[in-house]
Amino acid sequence: MKRRTKKERQQHLLQTIEENPFITDEQLATQFNVSVQTIRLDRMELSIPELRERIKDVAAKNLENEVKSLPLDEVIGEIVDIELDTRAISIFDVREEHVFQRNGIARGHHLFAQANSLAVAVINDELALTVRANVLFAKPVKAGDRVITKATVSGQNIEKNRTYIEVTSTVNNSVVFKGEFEMYRTKGKGESDETSY
C-alpha cells in the first residue's frame, strides 16, 4: 500500500475524527500505520482536541434537550449524544473495579446498566420504567475497554404506553452486547397519570 503524504494523512485524519469523534489516538495510529506520537502531533497541528475534550464538546452540543426521565448523574456511562424519543449514545470506560478479579472480564450488570439507563434516558417523559428486556452478551469486555452504546427507538404502542428500544454496545466497532427493551411511560397530556401495576 502506498504511504500517504503528511498532508493526505492529515486530511484523512480530520475526516475520520469528524465521522467518529470517539476514536482513540491508538486506533488512529493503527488505522494510519503511524505512531501514536505522530497522530498527536497531527492533531496539534490541526487544532483537534484530545479524545476527552472531543467527548465533552459533543456532549455539550447534544445535551441541549435535557434528559427528563432521570438525572444525568444516574445514567451509567457518559451520554454524548441524544435526541429524545429517537436515539442516544453513551460511553462507558471499563475500569478495574468493574471486572472480576479472577479473569479481568467485566461484570455483566455494568453493561446491562449502561444499556438500560440509556433506554430510560432516551424517553421524552418524566417517568420511564423497564417492563421487559431481551439481552445478549456477545463478547467479553475487559478492563481498559471503552464501550460505546447506541439506543434507537424502534416503535411505540400509545394505547399501552409502551416504547420499544433497540440497544447495541460495541468495543472497537465489535458488538459486545445487544438488547431489546420494552419501556413503560406515563400517558399523554390530558390523560390519567396512573402508574400503578
Residue 197 banded pLDDT, cuts 50, 70, 90: very low
Distance, CA of 77 to CA of 95 (rounded, Å): 12
User: In CATH, what number does 6-48 get?
Assistant: 1.10.10.10
Among 56-65, 92-101, 172-181, the range scoring the smallest mean pLDDT is: 56-65
Vertex 112 angle, CA 106 and 116, to 5°: 150
Among 77-81, 100-104, 162-166, 171-175, the range scoring the smallest mean pLDDT is: 77-81
Task: Tell me the three cell numbers of residue 130.
Answer: 423497564
Distance, CA of 62 to CA of 83 (rounded, Å): 8
Q: Where are the domains of the chain?
A: 6-48, 65-185
The answer as to CATH 3.10.129.10 being correct for domain 65-185 is yes
